[in-house]
Structure 1
Amino acid sequence: MTTTQVWCDRCGEPADAGGHPACRAARELEPPRFCAGCRRRMKVQVLPVGWAAVCVEHGELRG
């Protein structure tokens, strides 16, 4: 059985460690910086109509 670790998409630390109240508050206004699936730093582009973030392993997210 493999366990998949989930990472905080703002700070890159394990998502289940500490609750991340500052990260949750910041994510209301900011795009993600880390991939929640693999912890890699993503390439983020802020657009006039939202944002786009790209992980080299998991592809693109938009918001």
Structure 2
Amino acid sequence: MVTELVEPAAARHWCDRCGEPADAGGHEACAAARALEPPRYCAHCRRRMKVQVVPTGWSAVCVEHGEIRG
């Protein structure tokens, strides 16, 4: 059986672009870059994700928390 991890955005502890603590502030550049780029780090556990970009979108996989697509 496959279960999906669902947590509110407030429960995320790490920036999904730079991997630094999300509550540390100074992530305006990360937010701007994320408008065009896929996430690089898991926002739940800070692991570097395997990212694949294709012409129709992207997918990012965390070994602990699974896959997200955009």
TM-score, normalized by the shorter chain, greater than 0.5: yes
Alignment root-mean-square deviation, CA: 1.2
Residue 11, structure 1, aligned to residue 18, structure 2: yes
Structure 2-normalised TM-score?
A: 0.81
Contact kept? 1:5, 1:14, Cα under 8 Å: no
Equivalent residue number for residue 47 of structure 1: 54
Query: How far, CA to CA, are the matches of 2:44 and 2:12 in structure 1?
Result: 7
Bigger fraction of residues in helix? 2
Q: For 2:23, give the aligned amino acid.
A: D
What 5-or-longer segments of structure 1 have no aligned partner?
Answer: none
Counterpart amino acid of residue 67 in structure 2:
E
Distance 1:30 1:23 in 2: 10
Alignment-derived partner of residue 32 in structure 1: 39
**TM-score, normalisation: structure 1:** 0.89
Query: Between the two proteins, what is the percent identity of the paired residues?
Result: 80
* Alignment CA distance shift 1:46-1:5 (3 Å): closer
